[in-house]
Amino acid sequence: MQQDSGFQAADCPPPKKWVLINDRFVLEADAKVPVFDRSFRYGDGLFETLRVYGGRPFAWEQHAERLQRGSEFLRIRLPFSASELRHLALELIRRNQMPEAVLRLQVSRGSGRRGYAPAGDESPLLVMTLGGAPVLDEGAPVRWQLITSSLRLPENDVLSGFKTCNQLMHVLAAAEARERSAQDALLLNANGCVVETTCANLFWIQDGVVCTPPLTSGALPGVTRAWVINVGAELGVEVCERNVSRADLLRANGVFLTQSVWEIIEVTRVDETVLPLAPFVGTLRQAYRKACLSTAG
């Protein structure tokens, strides 16, 4: 079978992509951010990543609300309201003709003088970009293998409630996973309790109960995590928050992850331990996909 050489025909140039910088749509090749921007210098900013289905960003209100809470905590003035941001996102989707995509919003405090302390005269900077979305097939569920990171997260971290632009702990843990040929890394906190992975919230099933670490463990309040907790009662399943050790997690009847891009992910292995697959995860995955597609335009 002939393989794709990776080159495109001369008469088929790659499509030009648009990005949004504040209120300006510019071509990706022309998009520039100042070198004195505080998100570049100090990680002083926030971001949100969400899936687009049928031209509509899924769970927009929940992502916008978390962005708003984060901006208030960091004292960054958002340059647009939630409704204005959504309008700009829809226009970006339309211009790029990408009804199935991954949308990323990033807000920086803006450019400022040298030093950690904000001077108060910064002008916030908004950037929106679109990327390709993974194709998910119900007949081939997403299944990941994890390694346990050597790094430890702090408990009761005030910043864990938001997606800040400073994610170095998760960057290093993801590097560990790649070095060991795993899809992601399991993160524990300083007390040895499981928290999350570098890019997803963590769930496990024990004696028919769906469990997840409490937010005080250091876990991000994920949008898909909240959906699972809320929909549990509708599916007749008990959901609880619980602190457990890695050893307890490995004795679970099934482990899965939740995140906006890959939806519901089954975990088949953690380090050298093979984990069982729980039938309930398939039911949950189908329910989530139905909810996603119901909002498509």
**pLDDT of res. 1:** 38
**pLDDT of res. 119:** 86
**pLDDT of res. 4:** 41
Cα gap 120→9, rounded to integer Å:
51
**pLDDT of res. 236:** 84
Q: What is the pTM (predicted TM-score) of this model?
A: 0.91
- Residue 30, SS3? helix
**pLDDT of res. 257:** 98
* Options 1.10.240.10, 3.40.50.2300, 3.30.470.10, 3.40.50.1360; CATH of 18-132: 3.30.470.10
Query: Which residue positions in the chain have pLDDT lower than 50?
Result: 1-10
Residues 6+ apart with CB under 8 A from 2: none
**pLDDT of res. 8:** 45
* pLDDT tens-digit readout, 64-99: 999 999 999 999 999 999 999 999 999 999 999 999
**pLDDT of res. 259:** 95
**pLDDT of res. 5:** 38
φ/ψ of 170, rounded to 5, equals: -70, -35
Only one residue has tokens 């950037």, namely 127
H helix intervals, 33-138: 38-42, 60-74, 82-96
Q: What is the CATH number of domain 143-294?
A: 3.20.10.10
The ranges assigned to domains in the chain are 18-132, 143-294
CA distances from 273 to 43, 67, 203, 216 (A): 36, 37, 17, 27
Tell me the percentage of the chain whose pLDDT exceeds 70. 95
CB 47 within 8 A of CB 112: no
Q: Where are the beta strands (DSSP E) in the chain?
A: 18-21, 24-27, 45-53, 56-57, 101-108, 125-132, 143-153, 184-189, 194-197, 201-206, 209-212, 239-241, 255-259, 263-270, 273-274
